[in-house]
Amino acid sequence: MSAEYRDPAIVQRLLDSIARTVTRPWTLMEICGGQTHAILRAGLDRLLPQGVRLLHGPGCPVCVTPLELIDQAIALAGRPDVILCSFGDMLRVPGSAGDLLAARAAGGEVRAVYSPLDALELARREPARQVVFFAVGFETTAPAAAAAVRQAAALGVGNFSLLVAQVRVPPAIAAILEAPDCRVQGFLAAGHVCTVMGQGEYAPLSERFGVPIVVTGFEPVDILCGVLACVRQLEAGQARLENAYARAARAEGNPTARALLDEVFEPVTRRWRGLGAVPDAGLGLRPAYAAFDAAARFGLADRTAAEPAACRAGEVLQGRLKPAECPAFGRECTPQRPLGAPMVSSEGACAAYYRYRGA
């Protein structure tokens, strides 16, 4: 299937259709870091007609995790009674002072895992230690975290907990559109998020702000289909939700995953790097599962931390700045010595520009 969705002839036909459709400039934003990397990898931003501009939004959950949560994870890793588990992407993300790899080098127990269920299994094998899973991600990873918590409760595994950094996409889209200087005229919504959560929250956003929102996949043909659908709406003066990823994303999403999320988590205000505190843009454990909240269990301080002055990741995540426009890009900030998460995350926009466009 992937070859079909990367077919150069189909890509060219879609580019031609977009060029025939566009009569004026339009600015679109993709809201998924996987789409950003696909766009840069295939050079789609350079192949599109001059009137179509793509901005890269806060589509990387690792990147939008605020410094204070990373600092909390590092603090936990420094405790002799804690094993801190995380997805590998988080290990090199800089906090206020160092990262999780440095915490491990200093003697902390930090382990990369593929799933929160791996961390739960570790907690069962190590009953004398506290095992904390750093739960980072959009709605796509949250069901697995919810499953781990529910299973821990059912099995009575009291030494397992989550440092919760799960975030929700629709409120972030609203925050971007509410900005007085917002330039975004249409959105390419993340197809994998809609595959889990469905599309119910997107139609009201489209209607409220008068912008097209097109559910879009991750291959070049997918992305160009999303762009074409968005541009057609804009040229016709329309603004509605449209699904250009029907082979995977259904209107109702995954009812089983949604029910699990609703049982274990509830929407909470959460800080996003670049966007600040956004109402309902995070997931927090419901009272019935509050015993598995690592921040409460270990009395972690709830405070903010300042970004490095030279790092303009916040502007990149808002689509106000392209990575290469940051003065530190490729100089003070590289994948080997990053100033911010977008340079080291596998879905980060800065990492995509560094990899596919060079310093």
Task: Pull the structure tokens for residue 145.
Answer: 């975290």
Q: How far from the centroid of its chain's Cα atoms is residue 236's Cα?
A: 31
What is the three-class DSSP state of 264? helix
Entry pTM:
0.93
Please, are residues 90 and 344 in contact by the beta-carbon 8 Å criterion? no
Tell me the pLDDT tens digit for each residue of 137-190. Answer: 999 999 999 999 999 999 999 999 999 999 999 999 999 999 998 999 999 999
Tell me the pLDDT tens digit for each residue of 37-88. Answer: 999 999 999 999 999 999 999 988 899 999 999 999 999 999 999 999 999 9
Which residues face 51 on adjacent strands?
none
Mean pLDDT taken over the chain: 94
Task: Pull the structure tokens for residue 213.
Answer: 């929102």
Asked if pLDDT for residue 303 goes beyond 80, the answer is no
Examine domains 1-61+167-253+307-359 and 66-166+255-297 and report if their fold is the same: yes
Would you identify the CATH topology of the domain 1-61+167-253+307-359? Rossmann fold (3.40.50)
What confidence score (pLDDT) does residue 1 get?
53
Tell me the pLDDT tens digit for each residue of 97-125. Answer: 889 999 999 999 999 999 999 999 999 99
Number of neighbouring beta carbons within 10 Å of residue 307:
17
Q: Who wins on pLDDT, 4 or 295?
A: 295
What confidence score (pLDDT) does residue 279 get?
96
Asked if pLDDT for residue 265 goes beyond 80, the answer is yes
Asked if pLDDT for residue 309 goes beyond 90, the answer is no
For Cα atoms 269, 271, 272, give the angle at the middle one, nearest 5 degrees.
125
What confidence score (pLDDT) does residue 359 get?
64
Please, are residues 62 and 89 in contact by the beta-carbon 8 Å criterion? yes
Would you identify the CATH topology of the domain 66-166+255-297? Rossmann fold (3.40.50)
What confidence score (pLDDT) does residue 305 get?
79
Domain ranges (residues) in the chain = 1-61+167-253+307-359, 66-166+255-297
Q: Distance (Å, rounded) from C-alpha 38 to C-alpha 33?
A: 9
What confidence score (pLDDT) does residue 304 get?
76
- Classify 93 in phi/psi space as left (phi over 0), alpha (psi -120 to 50) or beta: beta
Per cent of the chain over pLDDT 70 is: 99
The mean pLDDT value for 275-279 works out to 93
What confidence score (pLDDT) does residue 101 get?
94
What confidence score (pLDDT) does residue 127 get?
96
By CB neighbour count within 10 A (0-12 exposed, 13-18 middle, 19+ buried), where does 315 fall? middle
**Identity of the amino acid at 29:** M
Please, are residues 95 and 311 in contact by the beta-carbon 8 Å criterion? no
What confidence score (pLDDT) does residue 4 get?
87
Which residues face 271 on adjacent strands?
277
Tell me the pLDDT tens digit for each residue of 333-342. Answer: 999 999 989 9
Q: Distance (Å, rounded) from C-alpha 208 to C-alpha 330?
A: 39
